[in-house]
C-alpha cells in the first residue's frame, strides 16, 4: 500500500523537523506533503526532499480553520487518485502504531467499511508532568505521561473523500472508526518553544478579533470560544493539567482496547458532525504512561 502524509505549517520549525524525521521512517520524503503557509524559505529548507507547497499568508481571517481544513481535505481527496490512503495531521501530531509489524503494513491490512471514509486514532496529549527522563533525547521518553483526549481522537487516515470539521476533530457528512492500535500523539504542551508559539498565536487572536469587531458586516459569525486555544492558552493548559492530576490512570501495558472502547462509546453525531464528544470525556478524565517500548520513537 502506498501512503502519503500531509501537514500545514507556519513558523513551527522544530515541530516540522520532528514531523519529517518521524514520518520519513515510514515512507520516502517524496511522499510527505508540507503546505508552507506564507512561503517562508526556512520551511523550504527543512522540507528539502518533501513536496513543499507554498500558499500566501495575507492576514488570518476569522474562518481560517475552516479554510485550512478544506484545503487539506481537498488535497487528500486529490491524492487518493495516486495513493491508497492519506495521513492528515497537524504538525504537532504524530501517528503511532502499537501493534506487531509496521504502520504501513497495518494500514495495508486494516479494512475500512464501505460506509466509512477514514480511520481515527486514539488521542493522547503529552503532558509536562514529572516522571520522565529529562536527560533522554526522545520526546516521549522525556514526557511519557499523557492525558487521553476525545478532541484529538481524530479521523486522521483518509480512505475515501472526506470533509473534515474545524480542526479535523471530526468528519462532516461521513463516518469513521477508532483503531485501538493507532495513537495520535499531540506534542503541543511539551515543545521547547511552547511559550514563543503561544505568544505568536495570542497576537493573531487579538488582532483578528479586533479586525472582526471593527468590521461587523464581513459576513462571518464569531463563535463563542473560536480563538480560545490561542487567546487563552495558559488557562487551557491549566485546565488540562488539573484534569491530568485528577484523572484515573489506565494501565496500557497490554494495549489500548479499554480506552478505545470508552472513546468509541462517545463517538457520536451532532448535526452533520461525527466526532468524539470531549465534553463527555471531561467527565471521566483518563491518563496513561506511554509504554517503554514506544518511548524511543520520537
Kindly report, residue by residue over 40-92, the tens digit of the pLDDT.
Answer: 999 999 999 999 999 999 877 778 889 999 999 999 999 999 999 999 999 99
Looking at the chain, the whole-number percentage of residues with pLDDT higher than 70 is: 89
Q: Yes or no: say if 118 and 159 are a contact pair by the CB < 8 Å rule.
A: yes
User: What does the block give as the cell for 159?
Assistant: 480512505
**Distance between CA atoms of 290 and 86, rounded to whole angstroms?**
26
Q: Where are the domains of the chain?
A: 3-192+233-294, 194-231
* Model pLDDT, residue 59: 77
Place of cell 479499554: 258
* 254: enclosing H helix or E strand: none
With a cut of 60, say whether residue 186 has pLDDT above it.
yes
* Model pLDDT, residue 61: 79
114-151 residue pLDDT tens: 999 999 999 999 999 999 999 999 999 999 999 999 99
Beta bridge partners of 14: none
Q: What is the dihedral of CA 235, 241, 246, 250, to 10 degrees?
A: 140
- Helix-helix angle 194-214:233-245, to 10 degrees: 130
With a cut of 60, say whether residue 154 has pLDDT above it.
yes
* Model pLDDT, residue 159: 97
Work out the mean pLDDT of the chain and round it to a whole number.
91
Q: Yes or no: say if 285 and 271 are a contact pair by the CB < 8 Å rule.
A: no
* Model pLDDT, residue 237: 85
195-247 residue pLDDT tens: 778 777 776 666 665 555 555 555 555 555 555 555 566 778 888 999 999 99
Enter the pTM of the model: 0.91
* Model pLDDT, residue 230: 57
With a cut of 70, say whether residue 164 has pLDDT above it.
yes
Contacts of 86 (CB under 8 A, 6+ apart): 3, 4, 5, 6, 76, 79, 80, 157, 158
With a cut of 60, say whether residue 269 has pLDDT above it.
yes
* Model pLDDT, residue 177: 98
* Model pLDDT, residue 238: 87
Amino acid at each position: 500500500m502506498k501512503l502519503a502524509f500531509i501537514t500545514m505549517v507556519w513558523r513551527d520549525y522544530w515541530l516540522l523537523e520532528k514531523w519529517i524525521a518521524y514520518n520519513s521512517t515510514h515512507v520516502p520524503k517524496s511522499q510527505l506533503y508540507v503546505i508552507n503557509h506564507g512561503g517562508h524559505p526556512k520551511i523550504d529548507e527543512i522540507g528539502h526532499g518533501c513536496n513543499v507547497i507554498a500558499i500566501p499568508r495575507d492576514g488570518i481571517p476569522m474562518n481560517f480553520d475552516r479554510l485550512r481544513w478544506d484545503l487539506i481535505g481537498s488535497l487528500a481527496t486529490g491524492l487518493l487518485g495516486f495513493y491508497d490512503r492519506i495521513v492528515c495531521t497537524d504538525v504537532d501530531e504524530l501517528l503511532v502504531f502499537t501493534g506487531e509489524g509496521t504502520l504501513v503494513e497495518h494500514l495495508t491490512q486494516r479494512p475500512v467499511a464501505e460506509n466509512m471514509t477514514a480511520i481515527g486514532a486514539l488521542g493522547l496529549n503529552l503532558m509536562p508532568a514529572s516522571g520522565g527522563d529529562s536527560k533522554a533525547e526522545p520526546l516521549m521518553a522525556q514526557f511519557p505521561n499523557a492525558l487521553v483526549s476525545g478532541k484529538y481522537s481524530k479521523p486522521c487516515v483518509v480512505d475515501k473523500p472526506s470533509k473534515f470539521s474545524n480542526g479535523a476533530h471530526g468528519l462532516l457528512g461521513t463516518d469513521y472508526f477508532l483503531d485501538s492500535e493507532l495513537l495520535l500523539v499531540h506534542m503541543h504542551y511539551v515543545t521547547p518553544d511552547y511559550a514563543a508559539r503561544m505568544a505568536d498565536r495570542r497576537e493573531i487572536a487579538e488582532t483578528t478579533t479586533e479586525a472582526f469587531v471593527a468590521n461587523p458586516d464581513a459576513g462571518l459569525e464569531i463563535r463563542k470560544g473560536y480563538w480560545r486555544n490561542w487567546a487563552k492558552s495558559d488557562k487551557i493548559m491549566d485546565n488540562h493539567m488539573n484534569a491530568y492530576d485528577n484523572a484515573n490512570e489506565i494501565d496500557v501495558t497490554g494495549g489500548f482496547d479499554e480506552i478505545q472502547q470508552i472513546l468509541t462509546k462517545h463517538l457520536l453525531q451532532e448535526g452533520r458532525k461525527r466526532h468524539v464528544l470531549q465534553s463527555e470525556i471531561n467527565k471521566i478524565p483518563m491518563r496513561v504512561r506511554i509504554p517503554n517500548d514506544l518511548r524511543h520513537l520520537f
